[in-house]
Structure 1
Amino acid sequence: MYVSFDPWSPAFVADPYPAYTALRAAGRAHFFEPTRQWLVPHYSDVSGLLRDRRLGRTYLHRFTHEEFGLTPPPDAHEPFHTLNGQGLLDLEAPDHTRIRRLVSKAFTPRTVERLVPTVERLAAELVDAFVASGGGDLLAAVAEPLPVAVIAEMLGVPEADRALLRPWSSAICGMFELNPSQETAREAVRASVDFSAYLRGLIAERRTNPGTDLISALIAAHDEGERLSEQEMISTCVLLLNAGHEATVNTTVNGWWTLFRHPDQLAALRKDHGLLPTAVEELLRYDTPLQMFERWVLDDIEIGGTVIPRGSEVALLFGSANRDPERFAEPDTLDLSRSDNPHITFGAGMHYCLGAPLARVELAASFGELLRKAPGVRLVSEPQWHPGYVIRGLKELNVEL
């Protein structure tokens, strides 16, 4: 019945939305045997479950692997799980509450506000160079380097070392795809070891010579005598890089690909740059960069009359929720002036994306610069999609001016 949901099919990855329509019509929860997950496609359910404390990103704060009916990961994967397991994204209360409170002391709205001129300068420099070269791959030239440079500046990573960051991040993020291969796991472990060692050195240097960067602020952050451990700082920095650029990169290139396929909307945006704030939100909704977000069921839940028992995993389909006609008027229509747009691209509840304000600044800066300086930018060739479904993006986007 759900053959159309096939996250390993290139055709599905290129356009999963018809399959989502079928899933929503067929019910509220569907067991998907290949990944042993319950697919949840409706906006109201996804939004509600993101806030439901009966679900968790981890279960280890309450159960052992064995108590939860699962096999522990191989010992060889330990560096990845240590790194990933101490980050905000994969922790639950009370650790999540403590770490988010401490990180928030360093990553304040004022911190983001102070970054705005830096983001705008970096975007302008990248777009100027892109225009001077007459176009090319928008992903490699603008979309990718901007958020990586911003996070690197935030963390105080020296410019000479910044080329290391994206490959490490890419290797680690491979583990977030469905049923990753052994080779993917090996690459993620290697990257976890190398990235952790690099950050350990950077943290040691900042302890001796603190600066105005985020690592120095994380070292200094404390609350009633509590501080971040070194591992928590390392995991936080890696999460800020991974979460802080993957979504922005893919929203940029997926967004331009969407605009090229909707020339009337692109023309409206070119005519009125004041549409940019709502346009960014609509592009985030229309083609969601993170298609699926997984949660463990810590206590039995019921969805639409289906009991999902403790020990199960649910797959919250963000891409489907953001196209749900029960919440969005004409959801398959791109409307850059859409004002009622409570998309869940940045999540919800206690795991709501800490970097959402920064992502919005980066997207507004790069789209704005390109609209101003490359008003006639046009597609050269139809792009191909990366095979990954969970973090979904294009391999490249070749354009000319």
Structure 2
Amino acid sequence: MTSVTAPLDLTDPAVVVDPYPAFAAARAVAPVQWHEGLGLWLAFTHAESNAVLRDRRLGRIWRDREPAERFGSFNLIHRNAILEMEPPDHTRLRRLISAAFARGHVERLRPWVQDLAGELVDGLAERSGGREPVDVLSGMAEELPVAVIAELLGVPAADRPLLRPWSNAIVKMYEYGRATAIEDAAEQAAAEFVAYLRELAAQRRRAPGEDLLSHLVTVRDSEGDRLTEDELVTTCILLLNAGHEATVNVSGNGLLALLEHPGQLARLRADPGLLPTAIEELMRFDSPLQLFERTATADVDIGGATVREGQKVAALLGAANRDPAVFAAPDTLDVGRTDNPHISFGAGVHFCIGAPLARVELQASFGALLERTSRLELAHPARRRPEFVIRGLAELPVVLTR
């Protein structure tokens, strides 16, 4: 099949604000299309995006950013990351991380997460008083997941304000059309983050606790293998960056969707048992991560297109999650949707290792918002961040009534 070129401009402000009409138009042309500007293939359908994520001939092949001397720390935290590895290295690292996670960390934190979510919502409601708008993004959505990851890893409370600025700076490197200043800030943040975690890991070796970092320091597999220090540091950074960025953005995008669909918000209030189902629907409806790249290690036919060895292909997760071939009325928010095979957590060997923790956080935060308020109302239009790949809000002004 002759390749079709996608006319999609991922830097167009209108596409950043609402990419879904553009996805639908492109999907109607061909399931997989070449994007000349990005120099890669884009998969617009659920089936083809799923294939991109699962096909073992399509891998995460990390190549250091050049010049290497300029991006030393940024390259280090990706070269040793489970997300950028393929088997057998990926298998070994995931086995070790899973063994540390298996010590009950997620369930241990569930009551603590629920209490924190309740405190944050109470604080927002008190400041709002049913009259004044408060930013739910900075007041809860950003605070909760950072606090949870920090508690999980055992980061001291005094150091926790350092974490989100480092993460924010690093993840901006994943966008297209970056300015030099953005790249410099990402490298500096990576260097500071690495230095901080090396010192924290050294403390845990001297005096281990019951936190995940202590268990990552000491974990061994059946062959006696263990994480190297670079793998340990990189895993902690990945847990924070991937873990909290996704949760922050599902919280913001999801609450905005509910506020813009008051009938669905009222339905959820009337039946709190729908909460787990609703969380999955919010992840499908406005995906926090829109694009995930892979590289062909051999020629691969997908959706009528041939991805040549060495070429990149990206699953457009947001487009896949609105595919009418899989989801009935895909542009409709339905908090009771039960047939919902969304791929917001990925698929295949790279399925998100932190998915259970993310679900605990999201159920706690949305549950607290529903239980501890009688009214939620959008004060004025939300302000969206100007990035496409990691889709989220910069501000979400809401009036809350206890």
Q: Which amino acid aligns with 1:35?
A: L
Gaps of 5+ in 1: 66-70
Q: Does 1:203 align with 2:220?
A: no
Indicate if the aligned counterparts of 1:59 and 1:298 stay in contact, CA closer than 8 A. no
Deviations along 1:21-61, whole A, 9 cap, x unmatched?
Answer: 1111110211111111111101001112211111111156x
Of the structure 1 ranges 91-100 and 102-111, higher mean CA displacement relative to structure 2 is found in: 102-111
Deviations along 1:163-209, whole A, 9 cap, x unmatched?
Answer: 00000000110111124332221111101110000000000001000
Q: Which amino acid aligns with 2:380?
A: S
Deviations along 1:90-120, whole A, 9 cap, x unmatched?
Answer: 1111111111100001112722111101111
**CA distance in 1: counterparts of 2:50 and 2:303, whole angstroms:** 15
**CA distance in 1: counterparts of 2:329 and 2:269, whole angstroms:** 23
**CA distance in 1: counterparts of 2:304 and 2:351, whole angstroms:** 28
* Aligned match of 1:106: 100
**CA distance in 2: counterparts of 1:365 and 1:292, whole angstroms:** 27
* Aligned match of 1:84: 78
Deviations along 1:373-401, whole A, 9 cap, x unmatched?
Answer: 12201000101211110001011100112
Tell me how large the CA RMSD over aligned residues is.
Answer: 1.5
Indicate if the aligned counterparts of 1:2 and 1:23 stay in contact, CA closer than 8 A. no
* Aligned match of 1:149: 147
| Aligned residue among 132, 137, 142 for 2:135 | 137
* Aligned match of 2:317: 318
| Aligned residue among 164, 167, 179 for 1:169 | 167
State the SS of the aligned residue for 1:324. coil
Deviations along 1:126-154, whole A, 9 cap, x unmatched?
Answer: 11111111150000000000000000001
Kindly state the Cα deviation for residue 74 of structure 1 after the two structures are TM-superposed: 3.8
**CA distance in 2: counterparts of 1:140 and 1:195, whole angstroms:** 22
* Aligned match of 1:123: 117
* Aligned match of 2:24: 21
Indicate if the aligned counterparts of 1:255 and 1:283 stay in contact, CA closer than 8 A. yes
State the SS of the aligned residue for 1:212. coil
Indicate if the aligned counterparts of 1:293 and 1:317 stay in contact, CA closer than 8 A. yes
Kindly state the Cα deviation for residue 4 of structure 1 after the two structures are TM-superposed: 5.6
* Aligned match of 2:37: 34
- TM-score, scaled relative to structure 1: 0.95
**CA distance in 2: counterparts of 1:281 and 1:375, whole angstroms:** 23
Gaps of 5+ in 2: none
**CA distance in 1: counterparts of 2:191 and 2:185, whole angstroms:** 10
Kindly state the Cα deviation for residue 75 of structure 1 after the two structures are TM-superposed: 2.4
Q: Which amino acid aligns with 2:150?
A: A
Q: Which amino acid aligns with 2:75?
A: H
Q: Does 1:233 align with 2:232?
A: yes
Of the structure 1 ranges 2-11 and 200-209, higher mean CA displacement relative to structure 2 is found in: 2-11
Q: Does 1:58 align with 2:58?
A: no
Indicate if the aligned counterparts of 1:35 and 1:179 stay in contact, CA closer than 8 A. no
State the SS of the aligned residue for 1:294. strand
Runs of 4+ aligned residues of structure 1 deviating over 3 Å after TM superposition are 1-4, 71-74
Indicate if the aligned counterparts of 1:380 and 1:399 stay in contact, CA closer than 8 A. yes
* Aligned match of 1:68: none
Indicate if the aligned counterparts of 1:289 and 1:393 stay in contact, CA closer than 8 A. yes
State the SS of the aligned residue for 2:172. helix
